[in-house]
Structure 1
Amino acid sequence: MAFKLFQLDNLNTHFTSYKLHICIKRLICYNKARRWFKIKKCPVTAFFLILSLLSLAGCQTDDSHIKEEAPIQERPHSNSGIHLSTEKEIYTASDDELAVNIENESPMEFSYSDYFAIEKKMNGKWYSVPFKEETFKGIGTLLQPKTSLSQPLSLGRLKKGLSPGQYRAVKSFVRPEDYYLILQNEEKTLESAPTLAASFKVIE
């Protein structure tokens, strides 16, 4: 009887050792499989990580050339019966031209030149977008009472193309009878020459 108990204990010991051996072997195989999976997975992960970083770099805009704060931060889009708006609310960064709609609802005649300004809103403030060269002809165009027209603005005159963001096109208007007052720098011109801004957005 004692011999049988000894054999049973010995069998249980061998069985326990066998189970322990199997567990250790499975653990080793699991760790090897894990390391293999990581090795195989790393190049793919690295590829997508690099791709993401490149995408983020491409999304960043270079506005380092825009440094001068706009002299007047608040500008209306309508004044003295004149309304200024862009033909489209949204433009793309590849567009080389935008158009502004000018509407004169007043009984007075106004004039304006080909000059315009583009300003960008950054960190809550408006900044002037610089031109390559401010070579505007300064030719006046009459805006008759109760009429409207459209004026194209060439973005190719800008130092750099427009990056995504919020912008406004700025134009000034004056009554022809007050033109000589402007030349004489009379204060009256501040009231009779409204400067308006039309907002628009640029996307990729």
Structure 2
Amino acid sequence: MSRSDFSQFCLALSLLLLSGCGGAHHSEAADWERSQIETVNSIDGVTMKAKEGTLSSTGLTVTFENSTDKQMIYGEYFLLEKNINGSWYEVPVSIGDNYGFDAIGYRLDSTTVLDWPVDWEWLYGSLDSGHYRIIKNILDFRQPGDYDKYDLAAEFTIE
């Protein structure tokens, strides 16, 4: 084997070995859509956290806390994202594009703490291990047509 052939063989072998690095995370990130949400938890005095002891691969309970003097509104809609190599990606839904959420508004009164259980199995199935976040919209509602929308996120890890 000539030196040139040996060099090409080593290069090809190196590329083959490197293509296998990264495992499922590499292919997962390649197949998933990158998050479009840039800013979360930017409303002062309102938080959403994963409630300890409620997490499973098919759901959890989030706790909202509103320590402001304003009433906030949230709905049924939620989105799950997974952190892959330091970036957030939307978890693909398992039922195709034919789904929706009830258009209902829940009040989060001022100086209130409340729990909201979510079961995502119907939409995402059972989650694999990894670091995730659930995203929910919340409205600083003043009157019909006059509101500001914020994205709240609560992070959690599936072992």
TM-score (structure 1 length as normaliser): 0.57
Q: Which has the higher contact order (CA 8 A, sep 6+)?
A: 2
Number of the residue aligned with 1:199: 155
Structure 2 CA distance for aligned equivalents of residues 200 and 89 of structure 1: 11
Structure 1 CA distance for aligned equivalents of residues 87 and 37 of structure 2: 10
Is 1:140 the counterpart of 2:105? The answer is yes
1:135-174 to structure 2, matched below 5 A, reads 135-174=100-139
What amino acid is the match of 2:158? V
Number of the residue aligned with 2:81: 119
What amino acid is the match of 1:197? A
1:135-186: CA deviation from partner (whole Å, max 9, x where unpaired): 20021001100001011111213333211000001111113325414xxxxx
What secondary structure does 2:142 align onto? helix
Q: For 2:63, which of 72, 93, 101 is the aligned residue?
A: 101
Asked if the contact 1:168/1:197 (under 8 Å) is kept, the reply is yes
What secondary structure does 2:121 align onto? helix
Post-superposition offset of 1:73: 4.2
Indicate the structure with greater strand content. Answer: 2
Post-superposition offset of 1:90: 8.2
Structure 1 CA distance for aligned equivalents of residues 115 and 109 of structure 2: 13
Number of the residue aligned with 1:39: none
The aligned length equals: 133
Q: Which ranges in structure 1 are unaligned for 5 or more consecutive residues?
A: 1-59, 182-188
Indicate the structure with greater helix content. Answer: 1
TM-score (structure 2 length as normaliser): 0.72
Larger Cα Rg: Structure 1 or Structure 2?
Answer: 1
What is the percentage of aligned positions where both structures have the same residue?
27
Structure 2 CA distance for aligned equivalents of residues 63 and 162 of structure 1: 13
